[in-house]
């Protein structure tokens, strides 16, 4: 089916912050066929024409999430990361069933779609059930199957083998992709991290792990091995290939140079880092070194939301605060970190920007609101999008050209029924 969407403006999602006023986006067979000013558009032909009273922006890409943790939202409030994991999260997760994961992921996926997030990187248990959930909602997911030594989980070697098998059985529409998600260097033995990296390089899979999230993590590994976390991973041949490292808060210059040398991408999680008091990542220094960076929400038990557009604003604020400079991260760069930059970070050049040839993952933001006034020039559309807290104005979302949110409501699932079921299952897991 061919469609022509018209909008007051298109925000492309590139690093420059390109805004096209009075714009047209043509969609053909799930991909973008043309983007540009209405005055220059080719003939519409037999395409269905849909006029939208707002902005069209790319579907947002959440580069680090444990979205089924909506089951644990708000639990362990005020605890530092290590106690939060060991005392609150891991005991609850030990009682999880695959059904719990699928219900929670379906609800979380609906929540993300309503906020314009069309793709998320989901490091969590029961990866096949996560895939089933996003199939139901119509979203996309990159699913690094977790490797974590928890009670009730298969041996780590079996977890790796199962993930490689899953990766060989994925649809060709880019909706689901599997990878490997060893938790971290302080929880997974280094020889197994090395083997996981080898398998990912061999099969072209994404390797996703937590790195240098807290000061204590790095200090403990430094004491044990005499190396920082990034240097330790490099020494054990974990780097190289498609590596996405979450958080990367406690990194010195040498660590950042290693990341640039090995082309390691970073999933920057400003809200989680702030809530757990983990620290302020060196985002400006990463970008200046050419390191690929994308935004992530982290899990909804450590954020506690899945509103990536809110995290766009926070990322810019924290970067400016850290550098004591109002130009440390521009509005254009901040939005790019959730769109084109995030797609680059996860190795998906088919996503993240409104450009011909990319998948038609589109978000309509209604601009008939005081949050979008005044508009003195075209750049104001992007400025208001970043600074005015407008995720509530997301009205319509398409994934691969298919409508998954219409007039603010998710089309594929019953969000209210899911909310009630999540509450019931969360009460059971809390014990």
Give me the architecture of the 2-59+352-400 domain, per CATH: Roll (2.30)
Taking the C-alpha atoms of residue 138 and residue 320, their distance in angstroms, rounded to an integer, is 36
- Per DSSP (E only), the strands in 67-123 are 117-122
Q: Please check the confidence at residue 159 and state whether its pLDDT lies above 90.
A: no
Q: In sequence order, what are the beta bridge partners of 176?
A: 141
Q: What is the pLDDT averaged over residues 219-247?
A: 94
Q: How much is the pLDDT for 78?
A: 86
Do the Cβ atoms of 68 and 105 come closer than 8 Å? yes
pLDDT tens digits, residue range 123-155?
Answer: 999 999 999 999 999 999 999 999 988 777 788
Question: Which pLDDT score is estimated for 81?
Answer: 80
* Run of H or E residues at 159: helix 156-167
Closest CA to 179 of 206, 141, 210, 197: 206
Mean of the pLDDT values across residues 114-124? 98
The structure tokens listed for 306 are 């899945």
Mean pLDDT of 101-122: 98
Over range 66-92, report the average pLDDT.
90
With beta carbons less than 8 A apart as the criterion, state whether 37 and 24 touch: yes
Cβ distance 139 to 399 under 8 Å?
Answer: yes
Comparing 85 with 200, the larger pLDDT belongs to: 200
Q: Does position 392 have pLDDT exceeding 80, yes or no? A: yes
Identify the CATH number of the domain defined by range 60-346: 3.20.20.140
How high is the pLDDT of residue 318? 98
Q: 240: pLDDT confidence band, cut at 50, 70 and 90?
A: very high
Predicted pLDDT of residue 148: 84
* Residue 407 clears pLDDT 90, i.e. is over it: yes
Q: Across the strands, what pairs with 141?
A: 120, 176
What is the C-alpha to C-alpha distance for residues 286 and 288, in angstroms, rounded to an integer?
5
Query: Is-same-fold flag (2-59+352-400; 60-346)?
Result: no
- 308-321 pLDDT, tens digit per residue, is 999 999 999 999 99
Interatomic CA distance for residues 108 and 89, integer angstroms = 17
**Cα–Cα distances in angstroms (integers) from residue 378 to residues 187, 218, 355, 372, 382, in the given order:** 48, 45, 18, 12, 8
Average pLDDT over residues 172-176: 91
Tens of pLDDT, residue by residue over 256-308, are 999 999 999 999 999 999 998 999 999 999 999 999 999 999 999 989 999 99
- State the average pLDDT for the chain: 95
Confidence grade of residue 170 (pLDDT, cut at 50, 70, 90): confident
Write down the pLDDT at residue 172: 82
Q: What is the pLDDT of residue 197?
A: 97
pLDDT tens digit string along 350-374? 999 999 999 999 999 999 999 999 9
Q: Is the pLDDT of residue 327 over 80?
A: yes
Is pLDDT above 80 for 210?
Answer: yes
Using alpha carbons, list the distances in angstroms from residue 129 to 98, 141, 156, 415: 7, 12, 19, 18
How far is it, in rounded angstroms, from Cα 212 to Cα 230?
A: 8
Q: Which one, of 298, 344, 335, 351, lies nearest residue 122 by Cα?
A: 298
Could you state, in order of their start, the residue ranges of all structural domains in the chain?
2-59+352-400, 60-346
pLDDT band for position 47 (50/70/90)? very high
The pLDDT assigned to 389 comes to 84
């Amino acid at each position: 089916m061919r469609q022509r969407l018209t909008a007051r403006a298109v925000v492309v999602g590139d690093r420059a912050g390109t805004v096209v006023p009075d714009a047209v986006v043509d969609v053909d067979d799930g991909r973008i066929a043309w983007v540009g000013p209405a005055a220059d558009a080719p003939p519409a032909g037999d395409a269905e024409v849909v006029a939208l009273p707002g902005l069209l922006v790319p579907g947002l890409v959440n580069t680090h999430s444990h979205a089924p943790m909506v089951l644990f939202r708000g639990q362990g409030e005020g605890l530092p990361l290590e106690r939060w994991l060991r005392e609150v999260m891991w005991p609850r997760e030990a009682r999880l069933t695959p059904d719990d994961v699928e219900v929670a992921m379906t609800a979380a996926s609906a929540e993300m779609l309503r906020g314009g997030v069309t793709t998320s990187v989901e490091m969590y248990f029961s990866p096949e059930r996560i895939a089933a959930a996003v199939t139901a909602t119509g979203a996309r997911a990159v699913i690094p199957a977790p490797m974590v030594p928890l009670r009730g989980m298969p041996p780590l070697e079996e977890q790796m083998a199962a993930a490689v098998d899953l990766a060989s059985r994925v649809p060709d529409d880019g909706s689901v992709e599997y990878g490997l998600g060893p938790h971290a260097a302080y929880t997974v033995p280094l020889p197994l991290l090395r083997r996981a990296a080898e398998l990912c390089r061999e099969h072209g899979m994404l390797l996703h792990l937590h790195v240098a999230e807290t000061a204590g993590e790095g200090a403990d590994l430094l004491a044990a091995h005499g190396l920082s976390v990034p240097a330790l991973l490099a020494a054990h041949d974990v780097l190289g290939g498609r590596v996405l490292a979450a958080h990367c808060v406690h990194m010195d210059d040498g660590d950042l140079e290693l990341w640039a040398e090995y082309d390691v991408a970073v999933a920057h999680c400003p809200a989680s880092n702030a809530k757990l008091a983990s620290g302020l990542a060196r985002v400006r220094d990463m970008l200046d070194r050419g390191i690929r960076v994308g935004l992530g929400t982290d899990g909804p038990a450590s954020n506690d939301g899945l509103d990536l557009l809110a995290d766009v604003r926070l990322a810019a604020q924290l970067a400016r605060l850290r550098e004591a400079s109002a130009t440390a991260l521009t509005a254009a760069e901040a939005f790019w970190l959730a769109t084109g930059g995030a797609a680059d970070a996860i190795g998906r050049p088919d996503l993240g920007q409104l450009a011909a040839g990319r998948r038609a993952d589109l978000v309509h933001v209604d601009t008939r609101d005081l949050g979008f006034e005044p508009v003195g020039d075209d750049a104001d559309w992007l400025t208001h999008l970043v600074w005015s807290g407008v995720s509530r104005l997301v009205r319509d979302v398409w994934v691969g050209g298919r409508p998954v949110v219409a007039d603010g409501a998710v089309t594929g699932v019953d969000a209210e029924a899911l909310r009630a079921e999540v509450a019931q299952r969360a009460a059971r897991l809390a014990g």
